Every structure is written in structure tokens, then in C-alpha cells.
Amino acid sequence: MEFKGFRAVNNVALQVERGTIHALIGPNGAGKTTCFNLLTKFLIPTAGTIRYKDKDITGLKPADVARLGLVRSFQISAVFPHFTVMENVRIALQRRRHGDSFDFWRPEKALRVLNAEALELVEAVGLSDYAEIPAVELSYGRKRALEIATTLALDPEMLLLDEPMAGMGHEDVDRTAELIRRVGKDRTILMVEHNLSVVASLSDRITVLARGQVLAEGDYATVSKDPRVVEAYIGSGHA
């Protein structure tokens, strides 16, 4: 990916296995977010191709990619601040069924099913005690949990999370890590995360980027021992 001649991401061959939690790490400015934007089609690569489930998705629009099951968390999780947790999740579920049109006049039974599904998702992200609270009153960490719930409402096969723990306190980090682990049991997750202990405990595989290129790849034990990785982190003041 080139920005006016500057190569932010150069020849990155990133392969994410179905069903794994894959972390993308590296010092600031390494190109992680650019990779993300390429995968979710917010950016069109100046060269190269992007494949998802053996399909070339390089030319597709973000909404088309999302429809294929590859979803970035903030992309669709428009959380309505003054609606309750349950209402937010219900709206997200309705969007899955009807695209962007809302269908308020639903038969009683359909509504009951929708409610049951919403409740299940709210429980799944640990927000049962907050179901009737307006989103705006949630702590930062719980707001992210609600975002994950509204993302899950779309039933994505693959989830992309850009720094899901950024700005969180310890307790929220632990709870969110647990949530990602649970969500990742039957889905594929690619996450960018600076918190290396979270990365160590969650990831099946890690790709380390530096200056737009892959520096190392493997499990945490392998990449954390790699002298080039240590060097890159020390050089950036991250270690």
C-alpha cells in the first residue's frame, strides 16, 4: 500500500487460518491499521490481492466484504447511546435480517424470537446485569463488550478487532480478553493489540510487522524470542 509514494505496507503475505485467533503486532507506524483497512476494503491496495475463503475480494466494497462474513468491529457497531443494551442488540439483529430498513410492525412471535436471541447475545458478552441500561451509561470496557455483541448479531465468520483493549483498565482488559477467547472458539479472529500479555494468552499465531513488512511469524514463544522482534520493539521504545 502506497501513500503518495510512501510504502506503508509492502509485500505482506498475511495468512489467517480459519478458526484461529491471530494477532498482528508491531511498533507504532508499522502498518497494522493499514493492513486492517486493506482487509476490510477501506483502502484499495496499490498492488497485490486479497483473498477470503479462496475468493478474490480485492475489488469489493466494505459492505460486500461484510456480507461475506468478514466484519470489522466498529464498522457496523453503531451503538445508539440513549438506547438500552438490549435495544441496541435488537436493532443490530434486525439489521442482519433486513439490511438497513427497520420493520417495526412485526408479529408477536417474531418479536419473542428476536428478544430471546438478543438476550442470549447480551449474556454471551457478560452484560446481563446491564441489559436495561442506556449504552451511554456503560463503562468504557462494557461499551466495547456491547460493540462486540452488536457485531456478533451479524453472525460474522471472521472478526477483525483493532486494539480492542486500547484505553481499558485492568478489570475491563481481563473481561474483554475472556470474551474474545469465548467468541474465538467458533470463529476466526484477527486482532491488532499492543497489550502483549493479552496477545500472549489469546493468540494461536502472531505476525509481527515493522516498517510495513513481516518481521516474524509464529506462536508467542517463537516470536518473542526472535532477536529481530526484540530489536524492533526496543528501537521503538515499546519494550
Ligand X SMILES: Nc1ncnc2c1ncn2[C@@H]1O[C@H](COP(=O)(O)OP(=O)(O)OP(=O)(O)O)[C@@H](O)[C@H]1O
Amino acid letter, 219:
D
Among 10, 33, 58, 213, binds ligand X (CB under 6 A): 33
Given ligand X, Mg ion, none, residue 8, with its beta carbon under 5 to 8 Å by kind, binds ligand X
- Rounded to the nearest angstrom, the gap between the alpha carbon of residue 201 and the centroid of all alpha carbons in its chain is 17
The item of ligand X, Mg ion, none sharing an interface with residue 3, based on CB under 5 to 8 Å by kind, is ligand X
- By CB under 6 A, tell whether 31 contacts ligand X: yes
Query: CB within 8 A of 188, min separation 6: which ones?
Result: 16, 17, 18, 19, 20, 22, 157, 158, 159
Task: Read off the C-alpha cell for 19.
Answer: 478458526
Q: How many residues does the chain have?
A: 239
Residue 39 binding ligand X, by CB under 6 A = no
| Residue ranges in 139-178 that form contacts with ligand X under rule CB under 6 A | none
Choose which of 28, 49, 186, 227 interacts with ligand X (CB under 6 A): 28
From the list Mg ion, ligand X, none, which binds 29 (C-beta under 5 to 8 Å, kind-based)? ligand X
**Residue 15 near which of Mg ion, ligand X, none (CB within 5-8 Å, type-dependent):** none
99 or 167: CB nearest ligand X:
167
Residues 106-125 binding ligand X (CB under 6 A) are none
Tell me the residue type at 211: R
**Residue whose C-alpha cell is 475468493:** 55
Q: Identify which range of 21-29, 54-62, 102-110, 216-224 contacts ligand X by CB under 6 A.
A: 21-29
Rounded to whole angstroms, the Cα distance separating 92 from 76 reads 8
What, of ligand X, Mg ion, none, does residue 164 touch, CB below 5 to 8 Å by kind? Answer: none
222 CB neighbour count, 10 Å cutoff: 13
> Does residue number 115 form part of the binding site for Mg ion (CB under 5 A)?
no
Give the strand order in the sheet containing 205-210: 70-72, 158-162, 188-192, 21-25, 205-210, 213-218
Q: Which residues is 45 bridged to in the sheet? A: none
Footprint on residues 68-97 left by ligand X (CB under 6 A): none
213 is a site residue for ligand X (CB under 6 A): no
What is each CA distance from 114 to 91, 133, 153, in whole angstroms? 10, 19, 11
Which one of 30-38, 117-125, 136-144, 180-188 is the stretch in contact with ligand X (CB under 6 A)? 30-38
Is 33 an interacting residue with respect to Mg ion (CB under 5 A)?
A: yes
Residues contributing to the site for Mg ion (CB under 5 A): 32-33
